[in-house]
Amino acid sequence: MNETGKIIQDLRIKAGFSQKTLAKALHITDKAISKWERGICFPDVTLLPKLSLLLDTDIDVLVSKSINQEEWVGLIDISECDFSQPVYDKPLVYYLLSHYLLLGVTKIHVMTTEDNRRFLQNEKFRGFGFEFLFSRPEDKNMMILDQPWFLFGSDLTQQFQGAMLSNRNIKMVPDNQEPVFYFSRRDTNSKKYTTRTLGRGMICLDMGEYDTAMDVAGFVRTYQKNSGLLIGSLEEIAYKQGIIEREELIEMADGLPYGDLLMSIEG
């Protein structure tokens, strides 16, 4: 039994379900539940919201234990934009890297311009746990980004985790748009990608275009001011994931345009 299988079994028993009654609530067979608990396979990502409600837990508890982040690397293949360009209160590259950091993928291969390479060599990125390599990865599971997309929507990280848990190559596509992220597995013989559509209400804008970068800046400003929550803050993500300590967060927040908001979230 793997760790996730044991978690599902323990939570099922604690919630008072037998394999048969849990299967009935999910409209699947009890054999599927048995396979999850024995570590033979993982629940389909579409079942995770309902499963987490039935077991009175969080989706992240079910998913995070199943992904070995060390088996995954990032590939950012973007040369037509300036990573240091401010988009409201953060550099453009923060919004790209935040998706990787939320997933615990910190080894990133970057194919980009010399100016962007120099920017990524700033010591602050190492403080967030990133390791940048300026070469193409070989024989790795890869999370690939080839355009400077701004992505925002509910359950986005969980949808990416579902793609990482699949045994297929997956391309994530918002409604009526082109693919935004590719998840490529080294252990599949096929070079074809299965399409997964991101949920409704997803905001997807190309920050490489001046007009849409301004749209992103306006959205981030409005959202942060009205919600009191940050978008794309690597400092916040690193702190919540235990990569940096409180003292380091305080030091980083000093002088940031969103420093006060960052400290209010921490508090």
- Higher-confidence position of 73 and 264: 73
Average pLDDT over residues 143-148: 94
pLDDT at position 63 over 70: no
pTM of the model: 0.79
| Lowest mean pLDDT segment, chosen from 60-69, 101-110, 185-194, 255-264 | 60-69
Nearest to 49 by CA among 59, 41, 64, 40: 59
Tokens of 159: 């949808």
Out of 11, 46, 64, a domain closes at: 64
Query: Are residues 37 and 147 both part of a single domain?
Result: no
Asked if residue 215 is part of any domain, the answer here is no
Query: Are residues 84 and 49 both part of a single domain?
Result: no
Query: Are residues 121 and 50 both part of a single domain?
Result: no
Out of 64, 85, 110, a domain closes at: 64
pLDDT at position 267 over 60: no
Query: Are residues 168 and 45 both part of a single domain?
Result: no
pLDDT recorded at residue 46: 76
pLDDT at position 68 over 70: no
Query: Are residues 89 and 183 both part of a single domain?
Result: yes
Tokens of 206: 């190309």
pLDDT at position 266 over 70: no
Alpha helices in the chain (DSSP H): 3-14, 19-26, 30-37, 48-54, 59-64, 92-102, 114-120, 123-127, 156-165, 210-227, 234-240, 246-253, 259-266
Query: Are residues 12 and 118 both part of a single domain?
Result: no
Nearest to 42 by CA among 76, 2, 98: 2
Q: How many domains, in total, are found in the chain? A: 3
pLDDT digits (tens, 9 = 90+) for 8-30: 888 888 888 899 999 999 999 99
Q: What is the mean pLDDT of the chain?
A: 87
Tokens of 17: 């379900």
Query: Are residues 33 and 46 both part of a single domain?
Result: yes
pLDDT at position 101 over 90: yes
Asked if residue 245 is part of any domain, the answer here is yes
pLDDT recorded at residue 153: 86
Query: Are residues 20 and 128 both part of a single domain?
Result: no
- Higher-confidence position of 180 and 92: 92
* DSSP 8-state class, residue 56: T
pLDDT recorded at residue 39: 78
- pLDDT band of residue 123 (cuts 50, 70, 90) is very high
pLDDT recorded at residue 213: 93
Query: Are residues 128 and 22 both part of a single domain?
Result: no
pLDDT recorded at residue 142: 93
Q: How far is CA 141 from the centre of its chain?
A: 15
What lies within 8 Å, CB to CB, of 219 at 6+ separation is 152, 203
Tokens of 76: 């950012």
Query: Are residues 114 and 129 both part of a single domain?
Result: yes
C-alpha R_g of the chain: 20
pLDDT at position 211 over 50: yes
pLDDT recorded at residue 1: 46
The domain in which residue 181 lies consists of 69-206
Average pLDDT over residues 31-42: 85
| Lowest mean pLDDT segment, chosen from 82-86, 220-224, 237-241 | 237-241
- pLDDT above 70 covers a percentage of the chain that reads 93
Average pLDDT over residues 63-87: 83
The b/e string for 51-71 (b: 16+ C-beta within 10 A; e otherwise) is bbebbebebeebbbebbeeee
8 A C-beta contact, residue 164 and residue 100 = no
The b/e string for 192-225 (b: 16+ C-beta within 10 A; e otherwise) is ebeebebeeebebbbbbeeebbebbbebbeebbe
Asked if residue 132 is part of any domain, the answer here is yes
Query: Are residues 82 and 168 both part of a single domain?
Result: yes
